[in-house]
Each structure stands twice: as C-alpha cells, then as structure tokens.
C-alpha cells in the first residue's frame, strides 16, 4: 500500500476582538492600522474589527457596558470614567504625550490665557469640559453679563469655528485641526496644556473592561504584542508605513503631511504595555486637588501592564 500524505494541519481559528476608536479614523490610529495591514494581528491569531463612534462619549460607555471588547481613549477620560464607577482599565499606551490642546482662532500667538475664557468657547470631550474649561474661565468672567456658557461641539470642530460662533476649542487635535482651518482661510493658535499646569498624560490608550481581565488576559497580551510589533515596524520603516497607511486609507492623505507624520512618530510608544505608575498617580492627585474628584483611586485599579498580569 502506498503511503498517502498526511492531511494538512488546519490553522487555529482567529479570535475576534472588537475595538471602538476614540474618534474618526485619524493619523493617531496608525499603529492599529499598520497592525492590521501588516498582518501582526493575524500572527497573534486575532481578527480585529474596529468601530467608529458617533459621539466622543460612546467608547467608554460601550466598553463599560460590555458592548465592545476594547476601546481607545485618553488617560484623562479613563480617570473620570473610573471615578464614575466604570470598570475600565488601561492595558496599553499607543501615544505617550497629549494629542489635544487649546486651539483658538482670531488670536495672537502671545495671547494671554486669562483673556481666552471671555471668548466663545467649545469643548469636545468630558475631560475638556471638566479639566480644561474651568482653568480658562475665571470667576470674574463667569459673573459678567457677557458670559456665555461653553458649548459641546462633539465632532464638529471645523464647523463650530467657521460657522458656529465658537472661537476657542478647549480640547482640539492640534495635529490636524490647524491645517483643516487653513483650507478655510483661518489661522489658528495652539496652546499646550503644559501652560495650564495639567500633568503630562498618555494621549492615546487602549482600555479593557476590568471584568474581562481574568478570562481574556491571554488575548489582551497577544493584542498588545501585535501593537508593539506594529509600532516598532513603523519606526524602522517610517516612509513605508506612511505609504501603506495612505494607500489603504486615502482619506488620511490630507492630514498626514510629512511634518505631522514625523511629529506623531516621536510620540509613539515602542513598548505599549509598559506602565508609568507615577503618571497615573500624578493625574489622580491633580484631579483631587482641583476638586474634580473626592478620592484618589489606586493605580492598579486604573491601569495594568498585561505582561505582569496585574
């Protein structure tokens, strides 16, 4: 009898992971996009499906409710959500510095911070409303007859500044908004949060529902491993990565100028799992001192390094 060749081994099925982005598809999501395009997720036996929120507040809400597996957000939003009882924890940091800043039109580059709060002001996120706006608006401005309550602008930053009567956004993406405004004939002034003494924080993080850590830790370790492979591939191949992203997602071409891309590369975390404990403690201290929260949460409730299993 002739020996027949063995049946080919069937590869194990991919595990599906749903992740909700924090915003419209943007350059800041480059690590996620490259992990998908280069097959790093697939190498970790993962089929990652991302969703775009209809509102900036949705990712934390849906993750807390178990409607998605993971969500992107900012460290500041994680703190506020955790203090409201949401069972969320950070498992990775994609961008290690804030991507948001105050963006003002009709303003001089040397405009005084004290004058900004008296002008029409908008915010897009919960942390913009609770952290930044109170630092801009003095009690004197609040008591004046001309005071107008800051407005939520959701995703409509350009429309609010060009047509909505808003002159300042407390928490705008400073990488992309000024260039988008320039196409409308408007110049923009960017004021970083360092000028407001807001502690430095992780600008883009991956959050998991804390209730999933016990049963899905292996999945999150593999997910973070794919992110690390993607981040390091981008740094080693910056032009190839830029070409790959813009070819696969043409709508990002206008917002990925060389200057923006190079600036973003400098901010990427090459070890996404690594946790800066002091950074999370500092933000908790800031929130309590400002009266935004009444207690300090332990770091282990807010963030973990999945590789350490804690």
Q: For the residues 147-160, what does the mean pLDDT come to?
A: 89
Whether the predicted pLDDT of 9 surpasses 70: no
Mean pLDDT (whole number) for 90-117: 85
What mean pLDDT is predicted for residues 146-166?
89
Give pLDDT tens digits for 32-73. Answer: 999 999 999 999 999 999 999 988 889 999 999 999 999 999
Question: pLDDT-derived band of residue 260, with 50, 70 and 90 as boundaries?
Answer: confident
The three-state (H, E, C) secondary structure of the chain, written as one string: CCCCCCCCCCCCCCEEEEEECCCCCCHHHHHHHHHHHCCHHHHCCEEEEEECCCCCCHHHHHHHCCCCCEEEECHHHHHHHHHCCCCEEEEEEEECCCCEEEEEECCCCCCCHHHHCCCCEEECCHHHHHHHHHHHCCHHHHHCCCCCCCEECCCCHHHHHHCCCCCEEEEEECCCHHHHHHCCCCCEEEECHHHHCCCCCCCEEEEEEHHHHHHHHHHHHHHHHHHHHHHHHHHHCHHHHHHHHHHHCHHHHHHCCHHHHHHHHHHECCCCCCCCHHHHHHHHHHHHHCCCCCCCCCHHHHECCHHHCC
Share of the chain above pLDDT 70, in %: 94
Q: What is the mean pLDDT of residues 83-87?
A: 97
């Amino acid at each position: 009898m002739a020996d027949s060749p063995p049946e080919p081994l069937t590869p194990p099925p991919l595990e599906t992971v749903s992740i909700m982005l924090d915003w419209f598809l943007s350059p800041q999501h480059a690590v996620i996009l490259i992990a998908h395009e280069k097959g790093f997720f697939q190498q970790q036996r993962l089929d990652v499906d991302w969703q775009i929120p209809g509102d900036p507040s949705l990712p934390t809400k849906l993750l807390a409710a178990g409607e998605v597996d993971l969500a992107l957000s900012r460290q500041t939003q994680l703190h506020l959500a955790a203090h409201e009882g949401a069972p969320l924890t950070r498992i990775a940091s994609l961008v290690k510095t804030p991507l948001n800043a105050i963006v003002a039109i009709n303003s001089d580059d040397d405009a005084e911070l004290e004058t900004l709060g008296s002008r029409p002001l908008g915010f897009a996120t919960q942390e913009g409303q609770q952290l930044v706006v109170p630092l801009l608006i003095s009690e004197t401005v609040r008591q004046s007859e001309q005071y107008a309550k800051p407005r939520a602008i959701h995703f409509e930053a350009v429309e609010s500044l060009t047509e909505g009567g808003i002159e300042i956004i407390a928490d705008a993406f400073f990488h992309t908004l000024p260039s988008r405004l320039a196409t409308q004939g408007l110049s923009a002034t960017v004021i970083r949060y360092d000028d407001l003494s807001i502690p430095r924080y992780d600008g883009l993080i991956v959050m998991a529902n804390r209730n999933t850590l016990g049963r899905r830790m292996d999945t999150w370790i593999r997910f973070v491993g794919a992110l690390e492979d993607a981040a390091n591939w981008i740094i080693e191949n910056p032009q190839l990565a830029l070409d790959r992203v813009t070819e696969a997602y043409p709508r990002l071409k206008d917002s990925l100028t060389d200057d923006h891309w190079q600036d973003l590369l400098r901010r990427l975390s090459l070890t996404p799992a690594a946790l800066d404990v002091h950074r999370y403690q500092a933000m908790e201290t800031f929130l309590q001192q400002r009266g935004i929260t009444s207690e300090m949460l332990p770091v282990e409730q807010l963030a973990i390094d999945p590789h350490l299993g804690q």
